[in-house]
Structure 1
Amino acid sequence: MPQNSSRWNRARTWVVPTGTLLAGAGLGAGAMALWGSADEPVQADRSMEAAGQQTVTVGLETLEESVSASGSLVAVTTDSLAFEASGTVTKVKVEAGDHVEAGDVIARIDTLQLTASLRSAEAELAQAEAKLANLEDADDGSDASEAQIAAAEAQVEVLEESVADAEEAMDDAKLVADISGLVTSQPYEVGDVVSGGGSASSGMGGATTAASTSSSSGVTIVGLDEWTVSVSLSEDEVSQVEEGDQVTFTADDVDGEFFGIVTDIANLPTTTGGSATYAVDLQVTGDVEGLYEGTSVTAEIITLRRVDVLAVPTNAITTADGVSTVTVVDSEGEETAREVTLGETIGSYSEVTDGLEEGEEIVVTVMASGGTDSETSEEGFGQMGGGFPTDGSFPGGGEMPTGGMGGMPGQ
């Protein structure tokens, strides 16, 4: 089942200790991750490491909470094609796996019979037009003459439609891509005999074997420019999500993150095994390379974002008798307890609305794991290869959608 997660994103310069893991930093729905820009050095004061404490520099941060889910990419645009005319396939120009542009010819059938039908229709039309012209020349104004002319005009109209149909059938001898994208299915081979409406047979070796190539199983083209993902959320999770919320996607086959928005939330749940879940539709924004139908993705739906918040790790705060304090370290290394006023707590971090200033250093109680886990914790608590962008452009492709986030605080 999807889990809630929270992240602490870098908004301005920050300094954090390395080699340690903040107590409670991995707690369920309140878990937070630290983000910082790739060119900002991470500094640490290890003077208190033996005592299980570290100093951190207070800074303005971006605090986030999110709901995590997974799903598969589905193309917004797909196209299924089959021959509408009858004939034998004479040329195949595209195979499954090829990319096509709108208007590209995929395959052709022979036009011998189609050409003959067109020439016959044109000849009949010419005769009818000549007959009409003769009747009009001989018109003496009588009722009989007018009736003959009217009948001839009607015959010309019928034959004009026949010619138009024959010309359209000639056009149908070419199977043409309606959209640009990736060809995922292409069953036609040279020698296949197709009939209008999509049925086909193989003409190899003089034998005729029925083979279905109806429009539903013929050539399939998947557009590569628009993608959606459907995920399932629990009742508690879906209550936190609104249409328009921003989404961060990751996929094993795609370098970096890409982005999107929540586009639809089901009103009614689906119940399986006594558990109710709600379908939530997400749409990828921007032009992201390397996406394909069926690619598995992980989605972080940002349910809350607080920007430029003066925030500190909650385990740096001591509260007794309703009074909250932090230990401030001055430039001489002297420690002083100072009362602070707290705002919202998001995950393992608390907003400080009064009592601290950006750039001051405070003492944080830390809990370090031993061995490899400790080394891993150091990397997780330190700098994470690039900050969460705020200018609408993102590494790895895609773009953060503009607009609100469903009434999130701080927007």
Structure 2
Amino acid sequence: MRELLHRVRPPWRRPRRLVLVLSALVVTSGVAGGWLLLRGDEPAAAAATTATVSTQTLEQTVTATGTVAAQTTEDLSFDVSGTVTRVYVEPGDTVKKGQRLARVDDDVLQAELDAARSALDAAETAQSQDVSDGASDEQLAADEASVLAAESSLTEAQDAVDDAVLRSTIAGTVTDVGIEIGDSAGSGSSGQPSAGSTSTSGDTTTGTITVVSTGHFVVDATVSSSDVEKVEKGLQAQITVSGIDDTVYGTVAEVGLVAETDSTGAAAFPVTIAVTGERDDLFAGTSADLAIVISRRTDVLTVDSRALRTDGDTTYVEKVTDSTTGATERVDVETGEASGMVTEVTSGLAEGDVVQVPGFSGPGGSGGDEEMQQFQQQMQERMQNGGGFPGGGQGGFPGGGQ
């Protein structure tokens, strides 16, 4: 019985050996992958490409972010006192320049106009009578002054009657109506309830009707204090607006002189960009990115920036001398400013020259597959001989763990 028990192994030992073998294989694969990525051998490179030296227009820009807004916003209110009797518009209405928006009661204004006409008639009659009677020069001068004053009063009274109708000063869209029938409008009252009185929603003297221009827009933005000196009125701006694929163009219309504080607490200066032309695809409140062109040079000789290499303080390229074989020769160059993916070349190359652009380098050099196979074989031999991983104990993990 003892011999039989001795010959039969406990069932839990076989799975334990299987788990250990599988764990070793997993760790071996992981170490091999890490060795491949981190070893210091010469990296493998993808095939090189070529680029042709050409002339381009180089631009230097100042970038900024902003918000689209209507070019003109008018908050219109009555210039005369009176009670609002009519409101002709509501938010969303499209209006023309000069179109009436609201009206106040003009009974008092009409009475003042009639009185001004009567005063002018009286002044003219008195002047005519004094002329007929041969009055003194002093009297005639006084009569002339009275007539002029009466004419001025009549003009003001007529303007007041005209102002009883509030009219739009621009063509656009009504965005807000802050006036209701029954409101007291004009500057004849302070707009504050007197002591002991109660203010009501229908009693206001500060109500306005807001009209914004349509089709014409600006972008309100800010530029950093380090860039503001480069920006001046009239410069072109390239605008990228959210939701619009095509580039929108504009010009710098105004550069603020007083700094503001941006979201990071740094100083920034306001800049207004007038969008070129009439647009029906822009909407106020949309965010926009700006590239303000501060310099532009045409016919600049350029090369793909990736083709440039350095050797100490020297910049050079590998110029293709034989397109069939791909043979190249080193050519030292002098460079100027960079723009995007190209760099200005001031000497060493000519338009039409072809240069080599190095391919992308990645881990693993020539002979890497063979070295990897050798590494894996060594690891397998160590496991079969009961050995450990590099730097590890017998049969264990790195550092001697079991």
TM-score scaled by length of structure 2: 0.61
Pick one of 105, 109, 113 that aligns with 1:114.
109
Aligned to 2:355: 362
1:328 equivalenced with 2:320 (yes/no): yes
Shift, 1:310, TM fit: 2.8
Within a 5 Å distance, the mapping from 1:63-102 to structure 2 comes to 63-74=58-69, 77-102=72-97
1:54 equivalenced with 2:44 (yes/no): no
Does structure 2 conserve the Cα–Cα contact (< 8 Å) formed by 1:259 and 1:285?
Answer: yes
SS at match of 1:97: coil
> Taking structure 1 as reference, are residues 52 and 195 closer, same or farther at Cα in structure 2, changes over 3 Å only?
same
Aligned to 2:238: 248
What do the CA deviations read for 1:263-296 (whole angstroms, capped 9, x no partner)?
Answer: 6656675567995423152432521414454442
Shift, 1:193, TM fit: 3.9
> Taking structure 1 as reference, are residues 366 and 104 closer, same or farther at Cα in structure 2, changes over 3 Å only?
farther
Pick one of 219, 224, 229 that aligns with 2:220.
229
Aligned to 1:185: 176
Within a 5 Å distance, the mapping from 1:4-23 to structure 2 comes to none
Query: Which has the greater radius of gyration?
Result: 2
- Larger % of helix: which? 2
> Taking structure 1 as reference, are residues 256 and 198 closer, same or farther at Cα in structure 2, changes over 3 Å only?
farther
What do the CA deviations read for 1:6-58 (whole angstroms, capped 9, x no partner)?
Answer: xxxxxxxxxxxxxxxxxxxxxxxxxxxxxxxxxxxxxxxxxxx9824223333
Q: Percent identity of the aligned residues?
A: 34
Count of residue pairs the alignment pairs up:
308
> Taking structure 1 as reference, are residues 194 and 334 closer, same or farther at Cα in structure 2, changes over 3 Å only?
same
Amino acid at match of 1:314: S
SS at match of 1:114: helix
1:349 equivalenced with 2:342 (yes/no): yes
What do the CA deviations read for 1:170-221 (whole angstroms, capped 9, x no partner)?
Answer: 21121122233333332233x33434327689xxxxx97553342xx51233
> Taking structure 1 as reference, are residues 357 and 154 closer, same or farther at Cα in structure 2, changes over 3 Å only?
closer
Aligned to 2:250: 260
> Taking structure 1 as reference, are residues 361 and 218 closer, same or farther at Cα in structure 2, changes over 3 Å only?
same
Does structure 2 conserve the Cα–Cα contact (< 8 Å) formed by 1:83 and 1:194?
Answer: no
Does structure 1 conserve the Cα–Cα contact (< 8 Å) formed by 2:183 and 2:203?
Answer: no
Shift, 1:368, TM fit: 9.0
Shift, 1:226, TM fit: 6.0
Report the more deviating stretch, 260-269 or 57-66.
260-269
Does structure 2 conserve the Cα–Cα contact (< 8 Å) formed by 1:230 and 1:282?
Answer: yes
Shift, 1:324, TM fit: 1.6
Amino acid at match of 1:62: T
**Alpha-carbon distance in 2 for matches of 1:232, 1:79:** 26
**Alpha-carbon distance in 1 for matches of 2:342, 2:177:** 55
**Alpha-carbon distance in 1 for matches of 2:151, 2:273:** 48
Structure number with greater CO (CA < 8 Å, separation at least 6) is 1
Aligned to 1:337: 329
**Alpha-carbon distance in 2 for matches of 1:269, 1:128:** 57
1:219 equivalenced with 2:209 (yes/no): yes
RMSD of equivalent CA atoms:
4.1
Shift, 1:233, TM fit: 0.9
Shift, 1:135, TM fit: 6.0
Does structure 1 conserve the Cα–Cα contact (< 8 Å) formed by 2:254 and 2:272?
Answer: yes
Report the more deviating stretch, 226-235 or 268-277.
268-277
Aligned to 1:169: 160
**Alpha-carbon distance in 2 for matches of 1:55, 1:182:** 56
What do the CA deviations read for 1:77-98 (whole angstroms, capped 9, x no partner)?
Answer: 4433212234443443333333
